Structure 1
Amino acid sequence: MKQEDRLLVRLKEYGESDFYPFHMPGHKRNSLLGKEYGTPFSIDITEINEFDNLHNPGGILRKSMEWASKVYGSDKTYYLVNGSSCGLLSAIFAATACGGKILMSRNCHKAAYNGVFLNHLQVKYVYPQVIDELGIQGGILASDVEKLLDEEPDIQAVVIVSPTYDGIVSDIEGIAEAVHKRKIPLIVDEAHGAHFAFGEDFPKSALELGADIVVQSIHKTLPCFTQTAILHMKRGYIKEEELERYLRVFQSSSPSYIFMAGIENCIYHMNLEGRQEMKNFAQFLEGMRERLSSLSKLKLAGRELIGEYGVEDIDLSKFVVVTKDTSINGSELSRILRDHYHLEMEMCSANYIVAITSVADTREGLDRLVNALLEIDRELCGREENPEKESNMEWSMKVTSKPEVEMTIFEGVTSPKEFIPIENSVGKIAGEFVFIYPPGIPIVAPGEMLLPSLVHTILAYQEMGLPVQGMRDTSGKTIQVIKKG
């Protein structure tokens, strides 16, 4: 291997460049925040005397997690070193029996789908509202959850994503009320809302609104290491011993002490100076949005959505910039920001991009984003519309993402399969996931019928240059389908 090809060398070079991160992790590579850790090797240990064991805590780690629980107001808080994914998997297994039934919002992360697969679950979906004029998904209606629970009385648990990748917050209080009428638990994937608890100007955490388990990726929106997360539990509808058993299954048996110290240090900082920093941050965000209110072609999703489309609240630290009425798509806007302004976005979709901001952002970095978007918008004002692009977008917007489920995800994954070209797969049953990553929400899951609209969407996304993943064929030309006979 050449010296210049080494990952460590490339990371150092990137860290010294002027590329600015509008993506996770929430520490935003801010060197001032990392000084407290010193030399990583000097604090990287294992379960030695006086340093406890995450999987059987009785000392310093137990005290640390009990303290964190008081900060957040949970009955119990657990540190996670395998990301929110291990928390979601553990929660799903603790709340359902093997082969049982679960109600899940269709826009759940692939980790939740993996839980459905591994526990052989039957899954029923509740769908978010669609904000047609922006081309993004809205919230989940409590009435839709209640209706499905009435129709399927054997559902054992409900999993909802709030906030979404786009910062959309659902009516968790109403959903929790509907779920608890059935004496079953509500699990909320709050991966993108770890910062809510520390800012009065931000939405309330699901933990305050009745959720039984809340999983947060502390690394996504707060200053902490990638892969760190926390799980909060409220007693009543979850078996504590089952949850802890599965946390031992889905987490590493050698948890990183650097990660665990990072989680504690992040919460400690946010609980002290962080609350005022969040207030200052919120005020700066308001100023950014005020400046961006002059956008003519590009659109910025904001508070105007609250009260519509199932949107209970919105996280204003997520900048969702919509390209629907312009001559470019989300992928092209992301590329322009990267190539011409050295600004790296969190994700892009057909009609929009998402820029993640956090309390660790610099004012200079935030100003760079505003100035770049205003300049791009001025350039777009002089361009003519692309009729073909509009046609493609309108088609993709009509996709309801309500597939026909022919078999369980487990059956779809384990049945005999064959590879066929994607364009020839209409009417076949998918044998693998297809999703754009990020955010990792399936377009189609194993066991679902490949409808014409879904196949068209996959091909259109590939043509746009979006990161279509999940298929074993990494070239993206073929897809695994269930073999007949």
Structure 2
Amino acid sequence: MQRQERAPLWEALVAHVRHGYAAFHVPGHKGGRGAPPELGAAWGRPVFKYDLTELPGLDNLHAPAGAVRAAQELAAELYGARATFFLVGGTTAGLVAAVLAATRPGQRILLPRHAHRSLLAATILADLEPVFYPVEVDKEWGLPGGWDETAVEALIRQTPGAAALVLVHPTYHGLVGPARELIAAAQAAGLTVIADEAHGPHFYLHPELPPGALTLGADLAAQSTHKLLGSLTQSSWLHLGGGRVPAAAVAEALRWVESSSPSYLLLASLDLARRQAARNGRAAWQRALELARMVRSGAARLPGLACLEAAGWPGVTGQDLCKLTVRVSGLGLTGREAACYLRRAHGIQAELADLRTVLFVLTPADGEKDGERLLTALAALARERRGEKARVGELPELPRPVQRLRPRAAAFAPKAYLPWRAARGRVAARAVVPYPPGVPLAWPGEELTPEVLAAGEALQAAGTELHGLTPGEGGEPLVAVVEE
């Protein structure tokens, strides 16, 4: 652990700033002297001195040989990875690069429909054919969880030409499925396993959290360090596990999708977040888990509320207790109504709200007073806010559309824009995604069947927005379809 006490990139950055060079280089604000005064007043002038990019002694993110390389090696050591790549384009850039490095145009990729939209972008850029494996959705909560091992393993065997499989580990709400078995089955069939571990960088730091995807054998794992650890927003990292994908292929793909002028504020925050996790990650997450249990226990006793406990859910093998999902439909409210009340009346900002639930994220940054404040607000919600239960609609079961074109062909095809009902039988040219739940109703290249259109209308009637539509001249939303 003595090596983990170092922060080589941060140390190099501090040394550069202390030297006091005359800055005849970018960025143009020159250490803050030319920055908008409002930013200096709000953030403080010193932060701008560290807003640098590649300079002598600070290394090069896309050809690391010094401080960046040393910092990445320490992160890989902490996570047990073969190599780690720092990301300034978020986990989105990491997932896109992982797919580009692991596949060739025309191949197939297996993934669940609730995969992050970055996987749609990756599928388009790599010109892949998506094959969706089924995921169990709990009807009471309306949330995706795990999967049936037998069904997915059969699909893997029945999908020739597949190059990769995407594992979402965990879901947005902290649920994990039988990942070890899925990884083994996919790799036995010759597939590279790419883990979207955006919400799981802390799994490696405490034994009471679910096991990390790398620990279970994943070939690549992209993590949003900024979501659960202490780095700045948009900073993430991508870990390389086994030997299926060359590190050079990943590095090349990252050069395609990331900035050539990376922010050293983001990179230094990754270096320090790694050191912080190595120093006290276990103790910090022990406190977070204790707080989560306290808040869960208190919230579960409030009338009309329920806390997500996934034990016994089909296809779910574990849960991150620090993701607190509270069902409010027992109050006759939607999650959005509850979240709006909590924000306006109590200054509580939730992470996510959907038709039935509100999601709160607890981390080591939260303390007992924060937990008590949340419980006080939830108690007031249960006491003061009651809606009409009939107003809380039911989400329809999402159909499985027919794939008529690969996503890239549909996305780049000439487009026509039609009213929703007039698009029956046409091929979607853009993803149509209901929020909530964030699971695409139609991917580019899928047919807008009567079942898809009916589900879209039912979702809108239940209070769900359909993202991906285009406003028409009269205000009527239009759907983009492939021009015939």
| Equivalent residue number for residue 413 of structure 1 | 411
Q: In percent, how many aligned pairs have the same letter?
A: 30
| Equivalent residue number for residue 477 of structure 1 | 477
| Equivalent residue number for residue 47 of structure 1 | 54
Structure 1 residues 316 and 430: alpha-carbon distance in aligned structure 2, compared to 1, 3 A threshold: same
2:264 is aligned, of 234, 247, 257, to 257
1:190 is aligned, of 185, 194, 197, to 197
The structure with the largest alpha-carbon Rg is 2
Give the whole-Å Cα distance in 1 for the aligned partners of 2:162 and 2:290: 43
3-state SS of paired residue (2:292): helix
3-state SS of paired residue (1:343): coil
| Equivalent residue number for residue 7 of structure 2 | none
Are positions 1:299 and 2:306 aligned together? yes
C-alpha RMSD of the superposition:
2.5
Tell whether the 8 Å contact from 2:468 to 2:479 is kept in structure 1 after alignment.
no
- Aligned residue runs from structure 1 range 33-432, under 5 A: 39-302=46-309, 305-379=310-384, 384-386=388-390, 389-390=391-392, 392-393=393-394, 396=395, 398-432=396-430
Are positions 1:444 and 2:449 aligned together? no
Tell whether the 8 Å contact from 1:109 to 1:439 is kept in structure 2 after alignment.
no
Give the whole-Å Cα distance in 1 for the aligned partners of 2:110 and 2:446: 17
For 1:199-241, what per-residue CA distance to the aligned partner results, in whole angstroms no more than 9, with x for missing partners? 2221111111111101001111112111000111113221222
3-state SS of paired residue (2:222): strand
Give the whole-Å Cα distance in 2 for the aligned partners of 1:132 and 1:316: 21
Structure 1 residues 239 and 140: alpha-carbon distance in aligned structure 2, compared to 1, 3 A threshold: farther
Tell whether the 8 Å contact from 1:348 to 1:466 is kept in structure 2 after alignment.
no
Unpaired runs of 5+ in structure 1? 1-6, 14-33
Structure 1 residues 46 and 384: alpha-carbon distance in aligned structure 2, compared to 1, 3 A threshold: closer
Deviation, 1:307, is 4.2
Amino acid across the alignment from 1:413: A
For 1:295-319, what per-residue CA distance to the aligned partner results, in whole angstroms no more than 9, with x for missing partners? 33222102xx234321110111111
Structure 1 residues 361 and 449: alpha-carbon distance in aligned structure 2, compared to 1, 3 A threshold: same
Deviation, 1:436, is 4.4
3-state SS of paired residue (2:86): strand
| Equivalent residue number for residue 25 of structure 2 | none
Give the whole-Å Cα distance in 2 for the aligned partners of 1:377 and 1:235: 49
| Equivalent residue number for residue 454 of structure 1 | 452
Give the whole-Å Cα distance in 1 for the aligned partners of 2:469 and 2:293: 41
Deviation, 1:275, is 2.1
| Equivalent residue number for residue 6 of structure 2 | none
| Equivalent residue number for residue 433 of structure 1 | 431
Give the whole-Å Cα distance in 2 for the aligned partners of 1:337 and 1:425: 39
Deviation, 1:286, is 0.8
| Equivalent residue number for residue 3 of structure 1 | none
Deviation, 1:340, is 1.8
Tell whether the 8 Å contact from 2:136 to 2:144 is kept in structure 1 after alignment.
yes
3-state SS of paired residue (1:78): strand
Deviation, 1:192, is 0.7
After superposing the two structures, state which structure 1 stretch, 268-277 or 434-443, moved more: 434-443
Give TM-score scaled by structure 2 length. 0.86
After superposing the two structures, state which structure 1 stretch, 66-75 or 271-280, moved more: 271-280
Tell whether the 8 Å contact from 2:291 to 2:367 is kept in structure 1 after alignment.
no
Deviation, 1:439, is 7.4
Structure 1 residues 234 and 329: alpha-carbon distance in aligned structure 2, compared to 1, 3 A threshold: same
For 1:411-433, what per-residue CA distance to the aligned partner results, in whole angstroms no more than 9, with x for missing partners? 22122221122244343321111
Give the whole-Å Cα distance in 2 for the aligned partners of 1:330 and 1:277: 30
Deviation, 1:383, is 5.2
Deviation, 1:39, is 2.1
3-state SS of paired residue (1:443): coil
Amino acid across the alignment from 1:431: A
Give TM-score scaled by structure 1 length. 0.86
Q: Which has the higher contact order (CA 8 A, sep 6+)?
A: 1
Deviation, 1:367, is 2.0
Structure 1 residues 187 and 439: alpha-carbon distance in aligned structure 2, compared to 1, 3 A threshold: farther
Deviation, 1:326, is 3.8
